[in-house]
C-alpha cells in the first residue's frame, strides 16, 4: 500500500483520547500547533492576471500572528475561467508560484502551517465582486470596469440560479483537461511552499455540480448513480495527490447537504468520505448548501456551530478526520467540539475578519493569563504583565 493510500494518517483518535482545540495535532508529516484553522476566504483583491498583492500578505500573516494552527489562502483558480470574479487569484500558471510563495513564507514565519485551497468555480463563475452586486457579469461591467464575462461550464447545462446564464455541459475531453489543471495547481502550490492542500468541492462549484442530482443530469459514466456522480470528485483527489507529497495532508471541502429537496444528502457525503480514504484525502472539511443560492450571504437564522453535526457524523462513520465550520465564535464551543470528539479541527472565517487574534484570545479564555506566553513576545509579555495589574486592581476594588 502506498503512503498516499495508507490509512494510518487519516484515522481519528478514539474518544478515550480526548483533546483540546489548543493541543497540537499531526496529520501525515505535518504538525499543527493547535486545531484552529482559518478558513479560505475570498478577498476579490487580486490583479487581473490572478496575482496576489500586498493586501493578501498582510491579510494572511495577521492570522498566523493571531495564533491559528493552519491558515488557508482563499480559493485559487485552477484556470482563468475557473475563478469567480476578476479579483480572484489563481494557481494556473508558473508565474504565480513566486507571489504565492511570499504568502506561504509570511504565514510560516509566524508559526502557522501555510495551506492553499484550489478550485474551479464552474457555473458560479463569471460574476461581479460582492460589493458590485455578486451577479453574473454583463456589458455594464465591461463599460464600468473593463471586466468582461466569460462562458462557464458545469456537469450539466443547468443554470445555477433563475435568470443566470446557462453553462455548457463539460465534455469528457474537458474533464480530463480540468483534472490536469487540478494536478498542475497542486504542483504549483507545493512548489510555493504550502504544507496543506484544500480541494473545494462545495458551494455549487464544479465538483459539487457533479455530486448533486439537482445539477447533474448526465447520461454518461459521470451521471446517474451515486458511484458515477462521485467519480469526478475522486478523480480530482487522485489528480491532486499525484502532485502532492505523501507526507502532506489533503483536506476536501464538501457541502454535506444541499440547500434544496432532492439534492445531495448526508448519507451520500458519508459514502464519498469512505471512498476518499483510498484516494489520498485526509480531512473532510464539512460545510453545507450553496448549490444555487449563496448561503454565505443569506440573512437567515443559524445556531452557533450549526454544521458541526455533519463533521461529527462523517468522523464517526468513516474514521476520517473532519473539520467543523460555521458560526463558531465562542472558544468554549470550539473546545467542546474537539474535546467531545465531534471534529478534529475547528475552522473560523468571518469571526477572524472581525478579530484576527481570535485563536490567541481563545487560548487565554480557556487557559488563563499563562496563555499569553504563547503569544508573540512583543505582545504577550506586556499583556501578561497587564493581566497581573488588572488582577491586583480588581482584588483591591473588592
* Domain annotation covers residue 386: no
* Domain annotation covers residue 3: no
The three-point CA angle 254-64-42 to 5° equals 45
* Domain annotation covers residue 382: no
Tens of pLDDT along the chain (398 residues)? 333 444 334 444 444 467 999 999 999 999 999 999 999 999 999 999 999 999 999 999 999 999 999 999 999 999 999 999 999 999 999 999 999 999 999 999 999 999 999 999 999 999 999 999 999 999 999 999 999 999 999 999 999 999 999 999 999 999 999 999 999 999 999 999 999 999 999 999 999 999 999 999 999 999 999 999 999 999 999 999 999 999 999 999 999 999 789 999 999 999 999 999 999 999 999 999 999 987 665 556 789 999 999 999 999 999 999 999 999 999 999 999 999 999 999 999 999 999 999 999 999 999 999 999 999 999 999 999 999 888 888 888 87
**Digit-coded pLDDT (tens) for 188-207:** 999 999 999 999 999 999 99
According to the model, what pLDDT value does residue 4 have? 44
Domain coverage including residue 80: 8-367
**Digit-coded pLDDT (tens) for 40-95:** 999 999 999 999 999 999 999 999 999 999 999 999 999 999 999 999 999 999 99
* Domain annotation covers residue 390: no
According to the model, what pLDDT value does residue 344 have? 98
Give me the catalytic one of 44, 205, 222, 232: 205
- Is 306 among the residues known to form the active site? no
* Domain annotation covers residue 57: yes
For the chain, give the secondary structure using H, E and C: CCCCCCCHHHECCCCCCCCCCCCCEEECCEEECCCEEECCCCCCCCCCCCCCCHHHHHHHHHHHHCCCCEEEEEEEECCHHHCCCCCCCECCCHHHHHHHHHHHHHHHCCCCEEEEEEECCHHHCCECCHHHCCCECCHHHHHHHCCCCCCCEECCCCCCCCCCCCCEECCHHHHHHHHHHHHHHHHHHHHCCCCEEEEEECCCCHHHHHHCCCCCCCCCCCCCCHHHHHHHHHHHHHHHHHCCCCCCCEEEEEECCCCCCCCCCHHHHHHHHHHHCCCCCCEEEEECCCCCCCCCCCCCCCCCCCCHHHHHHHHHHHCEEEEEECCCCCHHHHHHHHHCCCCCEEEECHHHHHCCCHHHHHHHHHHCHHHHHHCCHHHHHHHHHHHHHHHHHHHHHC
- Residue with cell string 469528457: 172
Q: How many structural domains comprise the chain?
A: 1
Q: Answer yes or no: are the C-beta atoms of 308 and 337 closer than 8 Å.
A: yes
Q: Answer yes or no: are the C-beta atoms of 360 and 373 closer than 8 Å.
A: no
Pairing relationship of beta strands 30-32 and 36-38 according to DSSP bridges: unpaired
* Domain annotation covers residue 379: no
According to the model, what pLDDT value does residue 397 have? 80
For 199-213, give the secondary structure using H, E and C: EEECCCCHHHHHHCC
CATH number at residue 221: 3.20.20.70
* Domain annotation covers residue 394: no
- Measured in degrees and rounded to the nearest 5, phi and psi for residue 123 equal -70, -10
- Full-model pTM: 0.94
| Distance, CA of 216 to CA of 207 (rounded, Å) | 11
Nearest to 32 by CA among 43, 46, 20: 20
* Domain annotation covers residue 384: no
Output the nine-digit C-alpha cell for 246: 505523501
Amino acid at each position: 500500500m502506498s503512503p498516499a493510500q495508507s490509512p494510518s494518517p487519516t484515522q481519528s483518535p478514539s474518544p478515550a483520547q480526548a483533546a483540546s482545540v489548543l493541543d497540537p495535532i499531526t496529520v501525515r508529516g505535518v504538525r499543527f500547533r493547535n486545531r484552529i484553522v482559518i478558513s479560505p476566504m475570498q478577498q476579490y483583491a487580486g490583479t487581473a492576471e490572478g496575482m496576489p498583492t500586498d493586501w493578501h500578505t498582510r491579510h494572511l500573516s495577521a492570522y498566523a500572528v493571531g495564533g491559528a494552527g493552519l491558515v488557508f489562502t482563499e480559493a485559487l483558480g485552477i484556470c482563468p475561467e475557473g475563478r469567480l470574479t476578476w479579483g480572484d487569484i489563481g494557481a494556473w500558471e508558473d508565474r504565480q508560484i513566486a507571489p504565492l510563495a511570499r504568502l506561504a513564507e509570511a504565514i510560516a514565519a509566524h508559526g502557522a502551517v501555510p495551506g492553499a485551497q484550489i478550485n474551479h468555480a464552474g457555473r458560479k463563475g463569471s460574476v461581479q465582486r460582492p460589493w458590485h452586486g455578486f451577479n453574473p457579469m454583463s456589458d455594464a461591467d465591461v463599460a464600468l470596469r473593463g471586466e468582461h464575462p466569460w462562458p462557464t461550464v458545469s456537469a450539466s447545462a443547468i443554470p445555477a440560479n433563475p435568470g443566470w446564464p446557462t453553462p455548457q455541459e463539460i465534455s469528457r475531453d474537458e474533464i480530463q483537461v480540468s483534472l490536469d489543471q487540478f494536478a498542475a495547481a497542486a504542483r504549483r502550490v507545493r512548489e510555493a511552499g504550502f504544507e496543506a492542500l484544500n480541494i473545494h468541492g462545495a458551494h455549487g462549484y464544479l465538483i459539487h455540480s457533479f455530486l448533486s442530482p439537482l445539477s447533474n443530469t448526465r447520461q454518461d459514466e459521470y451521471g446517474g448513480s451515486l458511484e458515477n456522480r462521485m467519480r469526478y470528485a475522486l478523480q480530482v483527489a487522485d489528480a491532486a495527490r499525484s502532485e502532492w507529497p505523501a507526507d502532506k495532508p489533503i483536506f476536501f471541502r464538501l457541502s454535506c447537504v444541499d440547500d434544496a429537496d432532492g439534492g445531495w444528502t448526508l448519507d451520500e457525503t458519508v459514502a464519498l468520505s469512505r471512498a476518499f480514504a483510498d484516494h489520498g484525502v485526509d480531512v473532510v472539511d464539512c460545510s453545507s448548501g450553496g448549490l444555487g443560492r449563496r448561503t454565505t450571504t443569506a440573512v437567515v437564522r443559524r445556531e452557533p456551530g450549526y454544521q458541526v453535526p455533519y463533521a461529527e457524523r462523517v468522523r464517526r462513520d468513516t474514521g476520517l478526520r473532519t473539520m467543523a465550520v460555521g458560526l463558531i465564535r465562542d472558544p468554549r464551543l470550539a473546545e467542546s467540539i474537539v474535546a467531545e470528539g465531534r471534529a478534529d479541527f475547528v475552522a473560523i472565517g468571518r469571526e477572524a475578519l472581525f478579530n484576527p487574534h481570535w485563536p490567541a484570545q481563545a487560548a487565554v479564555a480557556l487557559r488563563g493569563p499563562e496563555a499569553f506566553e504563547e503569544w508573540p513576545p512583543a505582545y504577550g509579555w506586556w499583556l501578561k504583565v497587564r493581566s497581573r495589574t488588572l488582577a491586583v486592581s480588581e482584588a483591591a476594588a473588592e
